[in-house]
Amino acid sequence: MSLRLGDTAPNFKATTSQGEIDFYEYLGDNWGVLFSHPADYTPVCTTELGKTALLKDEFAKRGVKVLAVSVDPVDKHLGWIKDINETQHCEVTFPIIADEDRTVANLYGMIHPNASETFTVRSLFVIGPDKKVKLTITYPASTGRNFFEVLRVIDSLQLTANYSVATPADWKDGEDVIVVPSIKTEDIPARFPKGYKEIKPYLRTTPQPNK
């Protein structure tokens, strides 16, 4: 199965390092990040889970709940978490799914046979409160993810969900944004009282409206 942007994220029940969960119940009305790992006790995954744990407060202030997936069993997860906490100087407090039968991996298309028949690639999904897929990113097993980029994209997704704006290349929270083309230039002052700059008729920028 290949999930695309705007698709409904499949619900599932799973055993995790923190007990049994129902995915939708776990998310509640929050945003979610679901991301997979090829296997426990692998070096790149260890750094990724550590970085996610260190960014706990950043995810929390954005109303984002994190959930990791690995095809190994819970007992391995628990031992691995001890290693992660020790080596990455963190405390992993989010659940790691024990996806031994590949149920979640198959629901979310996390196994790419041309890369590996058995292990998940580094798939990451951002899921909105409406349970729709807002972002998908897939890395090869050899490349660790940039979690500051994940946070940057979440900032953009949450902003653009509430205002008629888009975010330009390399945008960071607090910087100017683009007024979407569907808004007529003459209507911008009423919609964006902070002012705007017309670079081209199709390229109009305005200060971030929620700052």
Per-residue model confidence as pLDDT tens digits over 15-40: 999 999 999 999 999 999 999 888 88
pLDDT of amino acid 140? 82
- Over residues 108-123, the mean pLDDT reads 61
Given this model, what pLDDT does residue 118 score? 46
Q: How many Å apart are CA 179 and CA 198, to the nearest integer?
A: 10
Which of these is catalytic: 3, 14, 27, 45?
A: 45
Is the pLDDT assigned to residue 120 strictly greater than 70?
Answer: no
| Cα–Cα nearest to 32, from 59, 72, 71 | 59
Q: Is residue 90 flagged as an active site residue?
A: no
- Please report the pLDDT score of residue 207 as a whole number: 98
Q: Is the pLDDT of residue 45 over 50?
A: yes
Provide the sign of the torsion angle of the four alpha carbons 78, 80, 81, 87, taken in this order: positive
pLDDT per position as a tens digit, 53-63: 999 999 999 99
Q: How confident is the model at residue 154 (pLDDT cuts 50, 70, 90)?
A: very high
Per-residue confidence band for 117, with pLDDT thresholds at 50, 70 and 90: very low
User: What pLDDT is attached to residue 38?
Assistant: 80
Q: What is the pLDDT of residue 121?
A: 55
Q: What is the tens place of the pLDDT at every residue in 78-113? A: 999 999 999 999 999 999 999 988 899 888 988 654
The band of 116, judged by pLDDT with boundaries at 50, 70 and 90, is: very low
Higher pLDDT residue, 162 or 1?
162
Q: What is the reported pLDDT for 1?
A: 53
pLDDT at site 37: 85
- With contact defined as beta carbons under 8 Å apart, do 106 and 2 qualify? no
Q: What is the pLDDT of residues 159-205, one digit of tens each?
A: 999 999 999 999 999 999 999 999 999 999 999 999 999 999 999 99
Domains (range + CATH), the chain: 13-144 (3.40.30.10), 163-206 (3.30.1020.10)
